[in-house]
Amino acid sequence: MKLTLVFLTIYFLFLWFGMRTKTTELTGRWWFFLRAFFPNWKFFHALGMAPRLYVHFKKGLPLGEDGPSWGEWSNWILVYPRVQRHVLNVFHNPEVNLRLGYQNLVEHLVADLNALPEGADASELVTYQLVVSLARDALSQYCSEHAELIFQFEIRMEEPWLNHPSECLRSEVMLVSREMFA
């Protein structure tokens, strides 16, 4: 067992030094899809600006003589998971896990935007199109059979104010989508 102890000591020293030095990040589709085989176990460490998805919309008004017309833009609506907790959710929490997955998509879009070459079209990104679906999904409660909706989304990088979570210390718009039909 002495050998195991030596191995463990070396391993944890290696891990410790690894965290102190800047290492090269592996990029590429395969690495990304198979990252579960190489978990980095860094939980709740990233602080500062965090991405938030906002949507706004305007409803189509009945056809006038001049063709279709549109109402005013709504206020921006934050699409962010907020739910009531229940202790039994420790066994079954599908909606929360789904919404957390949605928020991860927003974070992946930001990562993809940061990696995008200068002048490239963000709307070509799969993550962009997934977030379009997410924005559309978030607006479904405002849709009706009789009214068409045009919507737009924004990705903002926000830093909340400590102890005043509803206010932002900083907020920067990172991306504004084009207008789309819901």
Partner 1 sequence: MSADLALRLIQCLLGWSILLQTLEYFKIRHSFDNQSVWGWSLLRKEMPSLPRVVLGFLDFFFDPKRGLNALLMLRLVASLSLMSAWEVGLFIPCLFVLQVLLLFRFRGAFNGGSDFMTLVVLSGLVIHLVLASSPWFVYAAPAGLGYIGIQLLSSYFVSGWVKLRRAEWRGGQAMIIFLDAGVYGPLSENSVFRRPKVAMLCSWSFIIWEGLSPISLLGLDVALAYASIACVFHFLVFWFFGLNRFFWAWLAALPSLLYWSGRIF
Question: What is the contact surface with partner 1 in residues (CB under 8 A)?
Answer: 1, 4-5, 8, 11-12, 15-16, 19, 29-30, 32-37, 39-45, 47, 50, 81-85, 89-102, 104-105, 108, 126, 129-130, 133-134, 137, 160, 162-163, 165-166
Check if the beta carbon of residue 96 is closer than 8 Å to that of residue 89.
yes
Task: Output 26 or 61, the one with its CB closest to partner 1.
Answer: 26
Helix then strand count (H, E) for the chain reads: 4, 6
User: In sequence order, what are the residues at sequence separation of 6 or more whose Cβ sits closer than 8 angstroms to the Cβ of residue 45?
Assistant: none
Question: Residue 60 Cβ, how far from partner 1 at the closest point, in Å?
Answer: 21
Task: Output 21 or 144, the one with its CB closest to partner 1.
Answer: 21
Distance, CA of 167 to CA of 159 (rounded, Å):
9
Find, among 153, 158, 181, 162, the residue nearest to 170 by Cα: 158
Distance, CA of 179 to CA of 182 (rounded, Å):
10
Question: Residue 40 Cβ, how far from partner 1 at the closest point, in Å?
Answer: 7
Question: Residue 39 Cβ, how far from partner 1 at the closest point, in Å?
Answer: 4
Task: Output 70 or 125, the one with its CB closest to partner 1.
Answer: 125
Question: Residue 138 Cβ, how far from partner 1 at the closest point, in Å?
Answer: 10
Question: Residue 67 Cβ, how far from partner 1 at the closest point, in Å?
Answer: 28
Give me 170's structure tokens: 């900083």
Check if the beta carbon of residue 78 is closer than 8 Å to that of residue 53.
yes
Task: Output 119 or 165, the one with its CB closest to partner 1.
Answer: 165
φ/ψ (deg, to 5) at 91: -95, -35
Task: Output 13 or 176, the one with its CB closest to partner 1.
Answer: 13
